[in-house]
Amino acid sequence: MSANACSMLADFVLFTHVGFVVFVVGGLVAIVGGGFAGWRWIRHPWFRAAHLAGIGWVVVQAWLGGVCPLTIWEQTLRAQAGDATYAGTFIAHWLQIVLFYDAPPWVFTVGYTLFGLAVIGSWLKFRPRPFRAVLPKAE
């Protein structure tokens, strides 16, 4: 794969990573705000299950000392492209600054765990609708 293709794919992975973070963080804001505002869509079981699974994945990874696969993939692609740092496109550079912070790993583990507990709390406070089996209509 060419260096340019690796760099572009690394940018795509970074955008995907940012999208995941926005889904998890924005999802909790929407659930809590929407719960108080009476929005029905925040109780959709698939949305809530995906949201809980997303933060659950992050918390488990943090407790096991793992690194996000999206981070590993992006860094591998940047290395293959010959980028020594996150020196990709302008947008990729700023998304990188917004997404990653320099702190000891335990700070992130505690933060992810607390956020996960907040998601569980939102699950209990604003219960999702139950999953329903889709049955064929009788004719």
Count of domains in the chain?
A: 1
What per-residue confidence (pLDDT) applies to 139?
Answer: 61
Residues 107-124 pLDDT 10s: 888 989 999 999 999 999
In a domain, 26, yes or no: yes
In a domain, 48, yes or no: yes
In the chain, DSSP finds a helix count (H) and a strand count (E) of 5, 0
In a domain, 30, yes or no: yes
In this prediction the pTM is 0.80
Task: Report the C-alpha gap between 137 and 139 in whole angstroms.
Answer: 6
In a domain, 131, yes or no: no
Range of the domain at 87: 3-125
In a domain, 136, yes or no: no
What per-residue confidence (pLDDT) applies to 64?
Answer: 93
In a domain, 139, yes or no: no
CA 52 to chain CA mean position, Å = 10
- Confidence band of 4 (pLDDT split at 50, 70, 90): confident
In a domain, 130, yes or no: no
CA 49 to chain CA mean position, Å = 13
Query: What are the Cα distances from residue 66, in Å, to 2, 13, 98, 130?
Result: 29, 18, 21, 33
In a domain, 50, yes or no: yes
Full 3-state SS string of 60-111: HHHHHCCCCHHHHHHHHHHHHCCCCCCCCCHHHHHHHHHHCCCCCHHHHHHH
- Confidence band of 93 (pLDDT split at 50, 70, 90): low
What per-residue confidence (pLDDT) applies to 87?
Answer: 44
Q: Sign (positive/negative) of CA torsion 12, 14, 15, 21?
A: positive
pLDDT reading at 99 higher than 90: no
